[in-house]
Amino acid sequence: MTARSALTGLLAVGAAAGAAMAAQVVLERRRLMGPVLPELRHPLLLVPVHLGPGALRLIRKAPVPPGPVAPGVDMAHRTLPDREDHDAVEVFVYDAPGGPPTSGALLWMHGGGYVMGHPVMDHELCSEFAVDLDVVVVSVDYRLAPEHPFPAGLEDCYAALRWLHDHADELGVDPARIAIGGDSAGAGLAAALAQLAADRGEIPVCFQLLVYPMLDDRTVLRPDHGGTGTFVWTPRSNEFGWTSYLGHPPGDDEARPYAVPARREDLAALPPAWIGVGDLDLFHAEDLAYADRLRAAGVPCQVDVVAGMYHGADAVLGKSAAMAAFRAAKKDALRAALSAAG
């Protein structure tokens, strides 16, 4: 859960509840904010926030304000045709006219803990990718849990990937230069999609851009999170998100391929990756572990760790210097990967 509207909705729920909190709780939150990079401190972090059924209902009732589209970018809302094996999927397509006749492409999955969020939250980010990198970006409106647990959302993403590949000529895309990416749960879906595409062997994927990815349900089982997960996305929220997506509480009995990307044993033959995460993020340990396993399997993986950054800080305070550098690192990694693939 990282896009701006989902975050502000979740934080607003916590803020309303926090009005009645005792002063000592706020003081304790101030103390816990000590490791946070000063420019990433925000008053809303003083309120403990945990996602559950009630908070999710409130967030979903609120309208999702679309983000701004960068100047010079054409955006189109498309409904992909039904297939015998799949219902229709909606996507947003971002393109900057005047670029090269054939470009690379990015298939993007929004965040939201597998249970909330919408592509319109990422209009600004996706359109910036399009205009800054001269690429076509396709953002997927995948189905959400708990109403649609695994594998519904993942299969929606695969349908969009197949559409992007099959319509590469129409979109002005080089089919050998298609990258996939996302943030938080969207990055978890991207990691699972890379595995699924590799195994099916129908569509080549040249790169995976994983922004603080939600990769491992077993993080829920850890009794000690080493000071991570205090802000925005907490262990309790994580348990709710994974339980909703998997259809059962996290445990040692999840053997379905692609349900939990970090549970896959063989990571060889996956596309190169970039993983960016803050050291205060609940996903910090699982993300670094996945990066280490990718490298051990011979898969190039660049890692950018931001000290003092919590989960989704770039959506809360994206204009700060640290988060501007973080966003630039994402774009640089994608630019280099698509250039290398060409």
Q: Which residues are catalytic?
A: 184, 281, 311
CB 65 within 8 A of CB 4: no
Compute CA 104 distance to the chain's CA centroid, rounded to the nearest angstrom: 20
CB 161 within 8 A of CB 197: yes
Alpha carbon of 153 to those of 244, 327, 329: distances in Å?
A: 12, 26, 27
Strands 90-95 and 74-79: antiparallel
Provide φ and ψ at 277, rounded to 5°. Answer: -160, 155
CB 52 within 8 A of CB 240: yes
Q: 3-state DSSP call for residue 277?
A: strand
CB 311 within 8 A of CB 281: yes
- Position 320, amino acid: S
As a whole number of angstroms, the distance between CA 175 and CA 46 comes to 47
Provide φ and ψ at 202, rounded to 5°. Answer: -95, -30
As a whole number of angstroms, the distance between CA 273 and CA 300 comes to 6
- Strands (DSSP E) contained in the chain are 74-79, 90-95, 103-109, 136-141, 173-183, 207-211, 273-278, 301-306
Based on its alpha-carbon atoms, the radius of gyration of the chain, rounded to whole angstroms, reads: 19
CB 131 within 8 A of CB 72: yes
